[in-house]
Structure 1
Amino acid sequence: MSQAILSGILWHLVGAASAACFYAPFKKVRHWSWETMWSVGGIASWIVLPWAVSAVLLPNFWGYYSSFSLSQLLPVFLFGAMWGVGNINYGLTMRYLGMSMGIGIAIGITLVVGTLMTPLIQGRFVELFSSSGGRLTLLGVLVALVGVAIVSRAGLLKERAMGITAEEFNLKKGLLLAVLCGVFSAGMSFAMNAAKPMHDAAAALGIDPLYTALPSYVVIMGGGALVNLGFCFIRLATKSDLSVRSDFSVAKSLLISNVLLSILGGTMWYLQFFFYAWGHARIPAQYDFISWMLHMSFYVLCGGLVGLVLKEWKNVGRRPVSVLCGGCVVIILAANIVGMGMMS
């Protein structure tokens, strides 16, 4: 496996690890509504950091964005908003199906849709079957999907062993939301593809290939921010049991702690796509759609490993842990198959 492809796969692993850990700081936030916590973290991750990073990278910030027409920027923004809808549905899916079933269905769908829809739309999908590299790559996607299913099965066994159930289990509603989450979450993959002219323009300015995708995040995450923050602000304004005033009236020390923890969580969320851009830059152009498969499968892999490190699987028995480890091995195998396919 070439050094460039290997480094691309490894950077996707680093980004996925950040994604798997980003919610840990949020769990330590106390006496705040989820909406306030998510908004503070989201402002940092979807607005402040993308703008700040782009301001550092671009020699002429406003000149860069004004060089694109509305017809070029609008699809990027709308796909970002599409991802935002999927992000909101993700939380609701967990509520109605539980973590394991919800993750298995939602991540499985977004992995397939986000990975394969791009070459399908571009008319390149059939071409993948005509070469050994393309066939290996598609086999890797299938193996990754199997790995996600196995890890999700392990999670289900863990929940049963610990007596954990969904907050408001509703199979029909949960399955509908999981499908919507899976499809809409793939918007991030579509946005990256639609933003290629922005990446090319950044490269023409002399920006390092590792960073050329980052300026497009201002537009992509702007779409996601509109949906997520709009959802949170509407709930805070209309729900009688939610109040920004009460959230910010806590003791000063707790207020500072909550703000810093939320910003830390938001920063870790942003870093997943910071390193996603690094990994994406190392993947051969004809296989760039594979970036999404690597990110999502590694996200499931790292989520399982983080759970083991934090002893979340303690006292659940040997079988759930064995199944989890088996699923992790399958996902690692999938990454190797994809790597070999890109080398063929």
Structure 2
Amino acid sequence: MSNAITMGILWHLVGAASAACFYAPFKKVQRWSWETMWAVGGCVSWIILPWTVSALLLPNFWAYYDGFSLSTLLPVFLFGAMWGIGNINYGLTMRYLGMSMGIGIAIGITLIVGTLMTPIIAGKFDVLIGTPGGRMTLLGVVVALVGVAIVTRAGQLKERKMGIRAEEFNLKKGLLLAVMCGIFSAGMSFAMDAAKPMHEAAAALGVDPLYVALPSYVVIMGGGAVVNLGFCFIRLAKVKNLSIKADFSVAKPLLIANVLFAAMGGLMWYLQFFFYAWGHARIPAQYDYMSWMLHMSFYVLCGGLVGLLLKEWKAAGRRPMSVLSLGCVVIIIAANIVGLGMAN
């Protein structure tokens, strides 16, 4: 396995670790509605940071985006909006299925859809099934799904042992939302593929290869921002017990703390895709769709490891922890299989 591929896999791991930890600062927010908290964090991650980073990278911010036709930008924006719909469905999936079942189904579906549909749409599926390296990467996807399934089972055992249930368990509604989440969340993978002309234009302007994907986030995350912020503001305006005015009327010290914690959560959410871009830049072009598989499987891996470090599994007993450990090992094996496949 080449050093470039190894570094690509490691950067995907760093990004996934940030994704697994991003909600920790949000848990510190007090006396705010979820909608206000999500909107403040979202403004940081989907608007402020992508625009700021792009302004620092590009020699002429507006000229760069003016150089693209609507036919280039619109698919990138719409796939970003698709990803934004997946974000909303993700939260609702947890509500009706619980964390373990929700994550397992949603992540499993988005891993498959985001990884395999990209080469199919691009007419490159023969790379997967027609070459030894392609078949090995495909094997890595299958092994990753097995790892996700094992980690999901560990979570179910933990929840059963600790008596944890979804707040409004509804299998029928939850499964529908999980499938929708899995499909729509893959929009980020599709958006990155559609944004390749933007990456090439950034490279032509002298932007470092590690950063060429970042200017496209202005458009991708702009699509996600429209969906997420629209959802939050509509609920804040229409739901009786929600009020953004009331949320911002809390005591000044608490208001400042809430804004800072929400902004920190937004920063960590953005950093997952900052490092995703770094990892994506190190993956060979013919296998760049594997970035999504690495990101999603590492997200599950890091979520389990963070739970262990925070001692969330201590009261669950030995069996759930053993199953979780097995699942994490399987995901690590999957990443190595994919890495070896890309090196062939």
Q: TM-score over 0.5 for the alignment?
A: yes
Counterpart CA distance in 1 for 2:226 and 2:251 is 30
Counterpart CA distance in 1 for 2:128 and 2:274 is 28
Provide the residue aligned with 2:23 in structure 1.
Answer: 23
Provide the residue aligned with 2:291 in structure 1.
Answer: 291
Provide the residue aligned with 2:190 in structure 1.
Answer: 190
Match for 1:249: what amino acid?
Answer: S
Match for 1:219: what amino acid?
Answer: V
Structure 2 length normalisation: TM-score?
Answer: 1.00
Residues 132-151 of structure 1 aligned to structure 2 (within 5 Å): 132-151=132-151
Tell me the SS of whatever aligns to 1:28: coil
Counterpart CA distance in 2 for 1:18 and 1:241 is 32
Provide the residue aligned with 1:327 in structure 2.
Answer: 327
- 1:317-343 Cα shifts (integer Å, max 9, x gaps): 100000000000000000000000011
Provide the residue aligned with 1:162 in structure 2.
Answer: 162
The Cα shift of 1:124 comes to: 1.2
Counterpart CA distance in 2 for 1:22 and 1:127 is 35
Structure 2: unaligned runs, 5 residues or longer: none
Counterpart CA distance in 2 for 1:127 and 1:210 is 25
- 1:184-223 Cα shifts (integer Å, max 9, x gaps): 0000000000000000000000100000000000000000
The Cα shift of 1:15 comes to: 0.1
The Cα shift of 1:42 comes to: 0.2
Provide the residue aligned with 1:90 in structure 2.
Answer: 90
The Cα shift of 1:130 comes to: 1.7
Residues 196-215 of structure 1 aligned to structure 2 (within 5 Å): 196-215=196-215
Counterpart CA distance in 2 for 1:68 and 1:144 is 37
Counterpart CA distance in 1 for 2:234 and 2:16 is 30
Residues 1-344 of structure 1 aligned to structure 2 (within 5 Å): 1-344=1-344
Match for 1:13: what amino acid?
Answer: L
Counterpart CA distance in 1 for 2:60 and 2:70 is 19
Counterpart CA distance in 2 for 1:148 and 1:245 is 41
Counterpart CA distance in 2 for 1:250 and 1:233 is 19
Query: Percent identity at matched positions?
Result: 81
Counterpart CA distance in 1 for 2:130 and 2:252 is 63
Match for 1:19: what amino acid?
Answer: A
Structure 1 length normalisation: TM-score?
Answer: 1.00
The Cα shift of 1:129 comes to: 1.5
Tell me the SS of whatever aligns to 1:30: coil
- 1:144-203 Cα shifts (integer Å, max 9, x gaps): 011001001000000001100011111110000000000000000000000000000000
Q: In the comparison of the two structures, how many residue pairs are matched? A: 344
The Cα shift of 1:315 comes to: 1.5
Match for 2:291: what amino acid?
Answer: S
Counterpart CA distance in 2 for 1:115 and 1:215 is 22
Counterpart CA distance in 2 for 1:256 and 1:240 is 25
Counterpart CA distance in 2 for 1:108 and 1:288 is 19
Counterpart CA distance in 2 for 1:248 and 1:239 is 17
Match for 1:48: what amino acid?
Answer: I
Counterpart CA distance in 2 for 1:69 and 1:156 is 48
Tell me the SS of whatever aligns to 1:315: helix
The Cα shift of 1:127 comes to: 3.1
The CA RMSD over aligned residues, in Å, is 0.5
Match for 2:65: what amino acid?
Answer: Y
Match for 1:211: what amino acid?
Answer: Y
Counterpart CA distance in 2 for 1:123 and 1:270 is 31
Tell me the SS of whatever aligns to 2:134: helix
